């Protein structure tokens, strides 16, 4: 059979589901490629992660079209026989391995789709099930530190000297001195990531930062996801992080279910924070004047 793939989001990261689909079909002798309008396909797989991604409006010839991903259907999952496959890293010429050690989360943040999509936190995979021949991995767990399985996997990662990035961040509330000591043994692809999305997270971030730095978890300018919903409240958290010599990354609030664009001022604040040369040299007040807000 001839299999066509469509990555609707065309994002910064490779599409994990499409890589697994590619591996599965290649394993049973099918021909797999990114779809074009000039070919006929027995099956066309379309994957869309984000609800706000515009669908592909081109016409593709296929006997069967399968749509998946949160952007199409939050409850749809890969069949087990596909989900267990080592991703086809050649599809995107990946430098790193990609995958999840756990799925789900113990938290129920109002802005997050994970509880609805993945449910309660549970063990999912062993790092060796998807690392392939790679020495580095991008891990997309939502709360790996809340899982005994996840912690055992971190120990395995340390033992095997795999360099990693927990791309979705680690829960600062779960980083005490003992956990910081463990994390200090990890080889990091990027500075360790946490999140400070509300006022209640300021103190946990401060304590986690102290524990991590005391245990020499480097580099020490940890990357902090920062949800931007109210300008003044968000600025308070952003300046708090800046004073701790942390690296805030502002994300304007978007209502995924309503598919509503973030307010313009939230986009401007996020650009200000994320443009580090500007953020480190001028104030938000001066920036607002320069862009005529």
| Tally of structural domains, the chain | 3
| Token duo for residue 179 | 């956990």
For residue 179, tell me if it sits in a domain.
no
The whole-number average pLDDT for the span 90-115 is 93
Tell me: pLDDT of 41 over 80. Answer: yes
Tell me: pLDDT of 16 over 80. Answer: yes
Integer CA distances (angstroms), 46 to 2, 70, 116, in order:
15, 12, 22
Tell me: pLDDT of 256 over 70. Answer: no
The whole-number average pLDDT for the span 174-195 is 98
Examine the fold and report which residue of 54, 88, 122 is the final residue of a domain before the chain moves on: 88
Task: Give yes or no: residues 199 and 278 share one domain.
Answer: yes
Task: Give yes or no: residues 276 and 198 share one domain.
Answer: yes
Task: Give yes or no: residues 14 and 69 share one domain.
Answer: yes
Residue 11 burial (CB count, 10 A): 11
Task: Give yes or no: residues 110 and 74 share one domain.
Answer: no
For residue 156, tell me if it sits in a domain.
yes
**Phi, psi (5° rounding) for residue 62?**
-155, 145
For residue 183, tell me if it sits in a domain.
no
For residue 226, tell me if it sits in a domain.
yes
The whole-number average pLDDT for the span 42-70 is 93
Domain that holds residue 63: 1-88
Cα(126)–Cα(121) distance, rounded to whole angstroms?
A: 15
Tell me: pLDDT of 223 over 80. Answer: yes
Task: Give yes or no: residues 196 and 286 share one domain.
Answer: yes
Whether a cis peptide bond, with omega within 30° of 0, leads into 219 is yes
For residue 274, tell me if it sits in a domain.
yes
The whole-number average pLDDT for the span 31-57 is 93
The whole-number average pLDDT for the span 3-24 is 96
Q: What is the model's pLDDT at position 39?
A: 95
Task: Give yes or no: residues 84 and 99 share one domain.
Answer: no
Look over the chain and give the mean of its residue pLDDT values, rounded to a whole number.
95
CATH number for 285 = 3.30.750
Q: What is the model's pLDDT at position 257?
A: 65
Task: Give yes or no: residues 208 and 160 share one domain.
Answer: no
290 vs 252, higher pLDDT: 252
Task: Give yes or no: residues 109 and 32 share one domain.
Answer: no
Closest CA to 177 of 141, 208, 143: 208
The whole-number average pLDDT for the span 215-233 is 97
Tell me: pLDDT of 162 over 70. Answer: yes
For residue 185, tell me if it sits in a domain.
no
The whole-number average pLDDT for the span 34-46 is 96
């Amino acid at each position: 059979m001839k299999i066509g793939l469509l990555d609707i989001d065309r994002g910064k990261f490779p599409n994990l589901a499409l890589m697994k689909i590619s591996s599965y079909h290649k394993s049973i002798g099918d021909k797999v490629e990114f779809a074009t309008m000039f070919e006929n396909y027995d099956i066309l797989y379309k994957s869309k992660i984000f609800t706000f991604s515009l669908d592909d409006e081109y016409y593709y010839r296929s006997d069967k079209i399968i749509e998946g991903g949160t952007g199409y259907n939050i409850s749809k999952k890969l069949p087990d026989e596909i989900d267990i496959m080592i991703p086809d890293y050649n599809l995107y010429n990946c430098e790193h391995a990609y995958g999840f050690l756990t799925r789900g989360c113990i938290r129920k943040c109002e802005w997050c789709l994970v509880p609805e999509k993945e449910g309660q936190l549970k063990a999912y995979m062993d790092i060796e099930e998807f690392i392939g021949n790679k020495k580095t991995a991008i891990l997309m767990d939502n709360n790996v530190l809340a899982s005994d399985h996840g912690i055992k996997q971190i120990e395995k990662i340390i033992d095997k000297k795999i360099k990693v990035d927990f791309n979705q961040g680690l829960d600062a509330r779960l980083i005490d001195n003992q956990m910081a000591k463990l994390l200090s043994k990890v080889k990091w692809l990027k500075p360790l990531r946490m999140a400070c999305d509300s006022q209640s997270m300021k103190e946990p971030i401060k304590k986690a930062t102290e524990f991590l730095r005391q245990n020499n978890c480097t580099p020490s300018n940890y990357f902090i996801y920062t949800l931007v919903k109210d300008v003044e409240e968000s600025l308070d958290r952003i300046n708090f992080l800046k004073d701790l010599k942390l690296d805030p990354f502002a994300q304007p609030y978007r209502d995924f279910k309503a598919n509503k664009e973030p307010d313009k001022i939230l986009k401007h604040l996020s650009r200000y924070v994320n443009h580090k040369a500007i953020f480190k040299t001028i104030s938000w007040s001066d920036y607002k004047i320069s862009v005529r807000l």
